Amino acid sequence: MNTQLLVPLLVNGIIIGTLYGVVAMCFVLIYKASQIVNFAQGEFLLVGAWICWFLLTEFNLPFIPGFILTLVFMMAFGVALQVVVLRPMIGEPIIAVIMVTIGLSIFFQALMKYLFGVFVKPFPQVFETASVAVLGLSVQPIYLLSLVISVLIMGGFAYFYQATRLGLAMRATAFDQQAAQSLGISVRQMFAISWAISAMVSSLAGVVVGVVNGVSSQLSFFGIKVFPAVILGGLDSIVGAVVGGLVVGLVENLAEYVDSQWLHWGALYIVAPFYVLVLILMVRPHGLFGTEDIERI
């Protein structure tokens, strides 16, 4: 056992896994509210990261205000997307709406390439120190920050759904749209809020990964990795999304370890999550925490 390699990989897996978990939660948020499988989830990361990069390099904003501005922009972006593109689709078959999200995904990938080019662009240096030592391991500060923010977001989601007026209304909408409307809940408003939160929180992951690896269309691939996470956890389970995200993050890094130590196939970590995906679809298609009767696409 090469613990020199294994321990950092596991730490990395947990950090990346919480990021997957956060994006997976955003995906589930939209699915629960409106039964829409959002194939454009990865593009939320992409757009968010590019916007943040643009604000930091073009306007020389410091990281924190630039990041907050990005979140505000992404919130408006989510609402706009829902109102302009998806609201007219209300009443159409769900599968049509899902096709539209695939279209959105392609559109925004192309638009970002048109606006910012096809090459990887690095973020300006965000933190003074390149790495900090935690329990003898060197960890990038942005990862530490993202871990803290991710855990806060997860706690925030739990509080939002359990205790707030809007959170309750969103759960009611997810359970029974017509009954929710009879209680005076505006279903359209709930949809808009779910897209706004989803876009905003997803962009956080985009910015973090962008700061570490640079911004490029590779980022939307991160969104695709979220599929194994949500399918593993169950499409309609917030807890499942977090667990699924962590598992996918760890599986990825364990695959890297196995690959580098024994197999030497190369790039096993990229496909490993999708082995999990295939396996879970064969064994337990509704996921670990999902409701059994949900429709599968």
Partner 1 sequence: MTAATATPEPAPAPLLALNNVEVVYSDVILVLRGLSLVVPAGKIVALLGANGAGKSTTLKAISGLLKTEDGAITRGEVLYAGQRLNGLDPEAIVRRGVFQVMEGRRIIADMTVIENLRLGAHTRRDREVGDDIERVLGYFPRLRERTGLAGYLSGGEQQMLAIGRALMARPRLILMDEPSMGLSPFLVQEVFAIIRRLNQELGITILLVEQNARMALAAASYGYIMEQGKIVLDGPAAELAGNEDVKEFYLGHGGDRARSFKNLKSFKRRKRWL
Q: From the list 172, 224, 258, 294, which residue makes contact with partner 1 (rule: CB under 8 A)? A: 172
Burial pattern 72-95, b for ≥16 Cβ within 10 A else e, equals ebbbebbbebbeebbeebeeeeee
The neighbouring-strand residues paired with 137 are 134
Q: How far is the CB of 83 from partner 1 (least distance, A)?
A: 16
| 186 near partner 1 (CB under 8 A) | yes
Given the rule CB under 8 A, which of 173-181, 194-202, 221-229, 279-287 is the region that contacts partner 1?
173-181
3-state class percentages of the chain: helix first, strand second, coil last, to nearest 5: 75, 5, 20
Restricted to residues 87-116, the positions that interact with partner 1 (CB under 8 A) are 91
Q: How far is the CB of 150 from partner 1 (least distance, A)?
A: 26
Q: How many residues bind partner 1 (CB under 8 A)?
A: 17
Q: How far is the CB of 219 from partner 1 (least distance, A)?
A: 35
| 60 near partner 1 (CB under 8 A) | no
Assign residue 291 a region (left: φ > 0; alpha: ψ between -120 and 50; beta: otherwise): beta
Q: From the list 169, 209, 229, 238, which residue makes contact with partner 1 (rule: CB under 8 A)? A: 169
The CA–CA distances, whole Å, from 101 to 89, 91, 110, 212, 289 equal 11, 16, 14, 28, 25
DSSP states of 211-231: HHH-BSTTHHHHHHHHHHHHH
| 83 near partner 1 (CB under 8 A) | no
| Residue ranges in contact with partner 1 by CB under 8 A | 91, 165, 168-169, 171-172, 175-179, 181-186
